[in-house]
Structure 1
Amino acid sequence: MVSPSHDSLSRRDFARAAVAIGGSAALSACLERESPQVDVPRGPDDLSGLPSRQHAWNEGLATDEYGNHLAPRHRVLLLLDYADDGEPTEADRETVEDAFCTLERAYERSHDGLLFTVSYSPSYFDRFDDPVSDSVDLREPEALAPFEDPALDRPDVVVHLASDHGSVVLAAEEALRGELDELNGVAVEATLDGVFERVDRRTGFVGEGLPAENQDVADVPDSDPVPDESPMYMGFKSGFEKNQASEDRVTIREGPFAGGTTQQLSLLRLNLHQWYEQDTRDQRVSKMFCPAHAADDRVEGAGHNLGASSGLGNCPAHAGDDAREHGAVGHSQKAARAREDDSPLLLRRDFDSTDGDRATLHFLSLQRRIGDFVDTRQAMNGTGISETSAVGQRLNNGILQYVTVERRGNFLLPPREMRALPTPTP
């Protein structure tokens, strides 16, 4: 599957397959396939100029003609546990920080190099006598709807690696594992080997062409229905700039973790047989955006014509009326009701996946408080709407009937200077 002589795979599809497999053999094949097309820029020797906010990616992302930030195309999530039972040692902190600094010196902090974050769960902080500062809303994960029963993720740490180049995320992962002596010309002098133990590894992709090229998996009809121009499996663009919280909005403002944020990570299984074979395009537009978008034919293709906003206008205020009159309500229409000072609460950095040969979505969101995610999810549930209309708990209620939440976890993403095994009250 990752042989560089396998010409039936495009370079983008090949990189996705290599990232999904992982390991030194996949890295070697990916490097051979990408070179010499890929010349990845190095990071600075002096790291003092890097931002304190780990989640401040936007400056390093490409944008489209409307100013929407384009997500890095290839991703790896490493779920790890601290290898010792007690509180982390200063020696381990120094080793972990040196390992992350190696990545920053090896690769420019951009989509063309490497973007990464390091976050910690409530379970990690349980090893300390002191609780996490009450200026941080970091709570245990839970089911957030009566029809949910997710397994709850509680690894100590999640490392999120992202780049437009599959070889970069693979090489960064191998360096952290202690499998490389050199990374993009930089000596690897410290690794995570021996400090952390791997709990799970998840991979994925996002961007025009990648879902269409990787739809030969379970949960997707054999007719290959995912449009070529769609960046996501469900056929529509997401992440419109005006429908995303800003990096400032999701940043913790006070307390010892000021400058950090919280991260929510859910694993969602997609039922695309039902989505593409049962529903017409108008029905999909109604359920993804709102009935008015379908009635007025506002969405062309994957929705790039909408520009920097999904253009919902008064749709959120009319959610109940639409449910009663049209028998359906839109996903975006419901979610947009969870706003503060006319700003969305979540900054989404999610991506699709073929892990386990299934069509899935790793829904990764950043928010100042985990409570902001809970509020947005409750708005998406549309409970009041389903109680006063023909719309069911899941049926015709946005995209709920096409998505099953299989796993969920909550994490604190501290400022960069605290990313190496932080204490709860630094």
Structure 2
Amino acid sequence: MTDPASGRGISRREFTKAAVAIGGAAALSACTEREEAPDIPTGPDDLSAFPARQHAWNDALTTDEHGNHVPPRHHVLVFLDYAGDGTPDDPDREQVEAAFRNLERAYQRGSDGLLFTAGYSPAYFGRYDAALPDSARLQEPRALTDLEDPELDQQDAVVHLASDYAQVVIGAEEALLGNRDALNGVDIETDVSGVLEKVDRRTGFIGDGLPAENQDVVGIPDSEPVPEDAPLYMGFESGFEKNQASEDRVTIPDGPFAGGTNQQLSKIRLHLQQWYEQDSREQRVSKMFCPAHAEEDRVEGTGENLGNDSGVGECADDVMDNSGVVGHAQKAARARDNDDSPIMLRRDFDSTDGGAAGLHFLSLQRSIADFVETREQMTGDDVADNTAVGTINNNGIKRYMTVQRRGNFLLPPRSSRALPTPQPDA
């Protein structure tokens, strides 16, 4: 692969992914020259019509023919620490809020422009003497199984930038950090420098064809490539509308952070040699969805034929049916409300960070406890005790991934997204 600054020797889509992964002024310049992006409108001068919920993205996303929300193709996670001593003051908050508003004015809101959120960790709120209210429902990150040993993210904040266009997420990151005087024709008069400092960045992508064009990495076999039209490395569709919690369901309903949500981030390393080289197509469908889907040949190609519902809900009660295999989605479908609706909204995406196939598992939920419950169902320790399933090899997709990092972050409502106190009403 050639340097994104020149862009020679690789396809346009490979190039844009590489540019996002590298970041910086040179990648932005090269990406702007080569990426086939339209003239992206700026945002409005009056931002009062923006939704109160930072995580309310669905109304700004496109939908496919089945009504599933289509996620933005390019993503950057910028991890930040407070640069000062003690706790932020009001001038700090005003500066950070002005920096966020610059981004909203530079690009129209949407996947064809820019979407972003800002979240804060338990470590950030630990700077204050006052405690978070119980209604915030934020918990410290931790390992959730005996097989996990993730590094725990303790950065103060994370900003998630997302767009269909690589130049937008790179440009937004550069402007936020103080490396741009103008963005999309809009003067950048304020940034977060001096208040927040970048300590880490992670990148990724999702969308039909992107994994196949970016599979020359550790963890993916050369002999059995990722399907050309797959949106994710494991070869199947994700984010079926009826298998996702609604934005209302994941929103904190009361207290000073009403209108916010809790975000969980797991950095996962994928190990797909056996997945593609040894497992048959039928085995992959069984382990990803459920055995009945494989036996009845319900999944065509990447699963687009399933419409807006993977159909695993009807398999959820059959995890102990002694078929010898249990599906990942089949197990996860057991984590539901009393009305049988999901409790977690996934917005995850693939990655080649570090030169290895990975997944940034990003989920939104009203309480981190909802993620823990869903994760416990995904793990399926009760299923592992079933002698018919037995080994980890037949227990969903557990053996194909390693959780390397995990962090929990509170996404406040937009009104208090800039360096909030634990009691913003006060």
Structure 2 length normalisation: TM-score? 0.97
Contact 1:109 1:115 survives alignment (8 Å): yes
Q: Percent identity?
A: 66
The alpha-carbon distance between structure 1 residues 393 and 247, as it changes in their structure 2 partners (threshold 3 A), is farther
Query: How much does 1:394 deviate?
Result: 2.6
Alignment CA distance shift 1:26-1:5 (3 Å)? closer
Secondary structure of the residue aligned to 2:373 is helix
Offset of residue 391 of structure 1: 2.3
Task: Determine the structure 2 residue equivalent to 1:42.
Answer: 42
- Secondary structure, aligned partner of 1:204: strand
Query: How many angstroms does 1:6 deviate by?
Result: 3.9
Query: Is the counterpart of residue 390 in structure 1 residue 391 in structure 2?
Result: no
Change (3 A) 1:409 1:392: farther
Q: 1:60-103 CA deviation, whole Å, 9 max, x = no partner? A: 10110000000100000001110113110111100000000000
- Equivalent of 2:376, from 378, 391, 397? 378
CA distance in 1, matches of 2:247, 2:407: 21
Contact 1:259–1:414 (CA under 8 A) maintained in structure 2: yes
CA distance in 2, matches of 1:116, 1:200: 17
Asked whether 1:334 is paired with 2:331, we answer yes
In structure 2, distance between residues paired with 1:223 and 1:181: 47
Deviation at 1:314, TM superposition (A): 2.1
- The match for 1:320 is 320
The residue type paired with residue 414 of structure 2 is R
The equivalent of 1:33 in structure 2 is 34
Q: CA deviation at 1:4?
A: 6.4
Matched position secondary structure for 1:161: strand
Q: Does 1:172 align with 2:136?
A: no
Partner of 2:394, secondary structure, is coil
> In structure 2, what is the equivalent of residue 217 of structure 1?
217
Amino acid at match of 2:244: Q
Find 1:353's aligned residue among 348, 351, 354: 351
Distance in structure 2 (CA, Å) of the matches to 1:393 and 1:48: 55
- Which stretch shifts more, 373-382 or 218-227? 218-227
| Displacement after TM superposition at 1:224 (Å) | 4.9
Q: Is the Cα contact below 8 Å between 1:4 and 1:32 reproduced in 2?
A: no
Measured against aligned partners, the alpha-carbon deviations of 1:237-275 in whole angstroms (never above 9, x if no partner) come to 000000000000100000000000000000011001121
**SS of alignment partner, residue 135 of structure 1:** helix
User: How far apart, CA to CA, are the structure 2 residues paired with 1:213 and 1:107?
Assistant: 27
Would you say the 8 A contact 1:80–1:157 is kept in 2? yes
Assess if the C-alpha contact under 8 Å between 1:85 and 1:127 holds in 2.
no
User: 1:366: Cα distance to partner?
Assistant: 0.2
Preserved CA contact (<8 Å) 1:261 1:369: yes
Q: Which residue of 1 aligns with 2:258?
A: 258
Deviation of 1:3 after TM superposition, in Å, equals 4.2
- Residue aligning to 1:144: 144
- Does the CA contact (< 8 Å) of 1:268 and 1:405 recur in 2? yes
Maintained 8 Å contact 2:7/2:30: no
Task: Using the TM superposition, name which of 252-261 and 379-388 deviates more.
Answer: 379-388
Residue 390 of structure 1 deviates from its aligned partner by 3.2
How far the C-alpha of 1:327 sits from its partner, in A, is 1.1
In structure 1, the partner of 2:294 is: 294
Q: Distance in 1 between matches of 2:64 and 2:377?
A: 29
Which residue is equivalent to 2:419?
421
Partner Cα separation in structure 1 for residue 303 and residue 117 of structure 2 = 30
Residue of structure 2 equivalent to 1:11: 12
Paired position in structure 2 for 1:189: 189
Task: State the superposition RMSD in angstroms.
Answer: 1.1
**Kindly tell me: are residues 392 and 153 of structure 1, through their superposed partners in 2, closer, same or farther at Cα, counting changes over 3 Å?**
farther
Deviations 1:183-225 (A, max 9, x none): 1111101101111122211000000010000000000001252
- How far apart, CA to CA, are the structure 2 residues paired with 1:276 and 1:388? 26
Count of aligned pairs between the two proteins: 422
| Distance in 1 (alpha carbons) for counterparts of 2:389 and 2:131 | 43
Q: 2:139–2:368: 8 Å Cα contact kept in structure 1?
A: yes
SS at match of 1:344: coil
How far residue 10 of structure 1 moved from its aligned partner, in angstroms, is 2.2
Contact in 2 for aligned 1:320/1:389 (Cα 8 Å)? no
Mark the runs of 5 or more structure 1 residues left unpaired by the alignment. none
d(CA) in 2 for partners of 1:3, 1:93: 36
- 2:4–2:18 Cα contact (<8 Å) kept: no
Conserved? CA contact 2:264–2:406, under 8 Å: yes
Q: 2-side partners of 1:202 and 1:309: how far apart?
A: 30
Give the TM-score taking structure 1 as reference length: 0.97
Is the contact made by 2:223 and 2:277 (CA closer than 8 Å) also made in structure 1?
A: no
| CA deviation after TM superposition for structure 1 residue 277, in Å | 1.1
Q: Per-residue deviation at 1:11?
A: 1.9
Q: Distance in 2 between matches of 1:261 and 1:337?
A: 22
Return 379-388 or 19-28, whichever deviates more.
379-388
2:173, 2:313 → 1: CA distance?
43
Local SS of the residue matching 1:94 = helix
Runs of 4 or more consecutive aligned structure 1 residues displaced over 3 Å after TM superposition: 2-8
Return the letter of the residue paired with 1:73. Answer: R
> Secondary structure of 1:343's match?
coil
Q: Which runs of 5+ in 2 are unaligned?
A: none
